[in-house]
A and B are shown apart, each in its own frame.
Chain A
């Protein structure tokens, strides 16, 4: 066995976390990358074993080895079934941070994704060529600031349009901030320093805009705004997910639906919105309000399965992400639903792509899009 030339520095507390795994293997039932790849190195037990082997100098760092760490979707499904209660996501993020800091050669597509996030402020290729300029809101006082996040802005603009239509229908004045990066994917990929810088930039803009409320359809942006922004930059903002905000508008009678649709919808809990932020019922309530019958897939709420696109994995590991998304679409099809509904632009994009590859056509929609159809 050879020892690695790249020294990894990991906080003691997280080394202990890695050692806490007693290898029971229960994560085999939950880990989406394991289900897709079918071998131990792609589940939490395998990843933690490999982390130990690296720390103990038992294995040489290689792009293939690093893939096991960077492909973790940070979906935390394993944490729900882990009897040792290992904080796997924290351990994976810390390990990625240590790998990045060590200067180890990163998997090509991961490095490219990080470069784009850093230099172009967007995870998607070609953003700078398109001359994508951040659209800052005009006017003096900003009430509701819509923060769509990169995936909605660039890949699922229907979600942004739906939010605008709904806010207009409810007479809620708003401004739109497109092209600003929440920096959380960068942070979770392990680029701590760069993410901090990017988040400082965002904090500065938010400080100058001083919105009363930041409204986002993206659970990851919400996590960034509510948890990481105050922690890393000291800037606090009031931020809310579109699903809970719209539910309030409906309950208070400020938003009224002109009609209802009688369809069956399978609702997919996005990992970050549900497992990480605890929002399970608001999106379901919106669907019921819209007249839809909400069906549950076998894996729902805390046990929900990742769409495969978690933390922008569809850009770093497209084949793996597509395979996982297809599995989930098949699970939705089995409920005999007409629509697969979700409350996250990344999940939406995952299912829109995957739905093209399955036998029976299945409509996919974000809850905001469903509501916008009915005002």
Chain B
């Protein structure tokens, strides 16, 4: 039961209309898009940095856990209040404070929705390149905290590469500004990069200065069908190592294609994997030249290539990729979405390993993802009511994580560790590295109040 004096104190800070301890509301804030659950005691919607600071000071004094949240689209449990306490929703801090066209910078509050920011940038011919799939709803604060990526990350990187400076409220309530408006800086420790991807455990982002980029005027798209997974891997590797800078290199394996085919009624040539390449740029000649070169490399790897000759054809190809998640969701009642990432030279090996694991354990695994940067999403499909199958699915998840690490990869490329991957965390990091991270956490958050139960704390 929630401490009534805590609710009153929060109401004093933000006003009663921005606090809720209604069980109806609490239930809806106990989940994100992952399988994790954690019931908050109270939800609070601050509107200013000062309010965020006052809430954290209060929580720090009373040693009450605080979990920050944006739109709750996280796939790893980041905004799930694992230890209860205060859930701090930043969506009412949603102003775009400044668009600096000359220096190509924007200053935003954390609750700005990704799509709203990009709409606001459109008239200036600018955009924020990292494009998480949840862009229509996810918030910039969440993207930064989780270091979100997306399809375009293969060319433009993840949020880490676009954050220039941050205003952060520390768990003690102190406010800091770190980073610079200058493009280059080596003045002291790079705290910006420390906060990016810290999964809301080190501080609450209240303002972000982001770099933005001129919107490319031309794009070209092609699809390529591989007779073997190894051929697909080879083609991706050649295109990437030739420096052709594609803005997307997506892959779908045969199981994914079968599901998509059933779901949207599209026909695909018989193959082990479909690749989608997109090139963007500022002149058509440049875009086409790079596409032609990539086509040659694909064909040399035994792939059958189809270049989209119109926008409608390009849209059709993208529709296949965008249907992957919903199509797979319809196959079985439950699913585990992995987010492993391997060096690009190991993409084929990882795809083969995933298929072997599927066969060894007798569980359906369909893999799609961002092949160009090695970020793959093997989806393990099962029925949670079937205990034996559920056990095999969990085993498959662990086997996939181990395989990625053995290939020199990582547990997660863009979703974060959160609660979902915490039990595998020690597989990737040495005790010394873990202790260093814990020391950093303690330096910022001596009482451990901010987003406890994440990353290395197994829920």
A→B interface (CB under 8 Å): 16, 19-20, 22-26, 28-29, 38-41, 45-46, 49-50, 53, 58-60, 62, 64-65, 68, 81, 83-85
Contacts and interface: CB of A to CB of B under 8 A. Distances in A.
B137 interface: yes
A259 B82 CA distance: 67
Contacts of A28: 71, 137
B370 interface: no
Given A22-B329, A25-B71, A28-B71, A59 B23 contact: yes
A26 B326 CA distance: 12
B326 A40 contact: no
Contacts of A85: 326, 330
14 contacts: A24-B73, A25-B72, A25-B73, A25-B134, A26-B136, A29-B115, A29-B137, A39-B43, A40-B25, A41-B25, A59-B24, A62-B24, A84-B326, A84-B330
Nearest to B30: A49
A8 B345 CA distance: 55
Majority secondary structure of chain A interface residues (helix, strand, loop or mixed)? helix
Ordered nearest first, which 3 A-B pairs have the shortest CB separation?
A40-B28, A46-B28, A28-B137
A23 B32 contact: yes
A159 to B, nearest CB: 35
B31 interface: yes
Contact of B33 (A22, A64, A65): A22
Nearest to B333: A19
B440 to A, nearest CB: 30
Interface string B109-153: 000010100000000000000000010111000000000000000
B22 interface: yes
A26 B329 contact: no
A46 B329 CA distance: 19
B207 to A, nearest CB: 21
Given A28-B137, A38-B91, A65-B24, 4 more contacts: A28-B71, A29-B113, A39-B89, A40-B25
B101 interface: no
A40 B29 contact: yes
A10 B191 CA distance: 53
Contacts of A58: 27
Contacts of A53: 27
Nearest to B70: A25
Contacts of B22: 64
Contacts of B326: 83-85
Contacts of B43: 39
Nearest to A62: B24
A23 B23 CA distance: 19
Given A83-B329, A84-B326, A85-B330, A25 B33 contact: yes
A117 B308 CA distance: 55
Nearest to A85: B326
B325 A29 contact: no
Contacts of B137: 25-26, 28-29
B142 to A, nearest CB: 11
A324 to B, nearest CB: 18
Nearest to B263: A85
Contacts of A38: 45, 91-92
A64 B25 CA distance: 10
Contacts of B325: 83
B34 to A, nearest CB: 8
A23 B31 contact: yes
B20 interface: yes
A68 B24 contact: yes
A46 B24 CA distance: 9
Nearest to A66: B24
A52 B29 CA distance: 14
A144 to B, nearest CB: 40
A59 B25 CA distance: 11
A261 B137 CA distance: 40
**Max chain B CB contacts within 10 Å: which of A23, A50, A64, A84?**
A23
Given A25-B71, A83-B326, A85-B330, A49 B28 contact: yes
A166 to B, nearest CB: 39
Nearest to A42: B28
Given A23-B32, A25-B137, A40 B329 contact: no
Nearest to B43: A39
Contacts of B329: 20, 22, 83-84
A59 B333 CA distance: 24
A372 B72 CA distance: 49
Contacts of A60: 23
A41 B22 CA distance: 10
A39 B115 contact: no
Nearest to A23: B33
Nearest to B92: A38
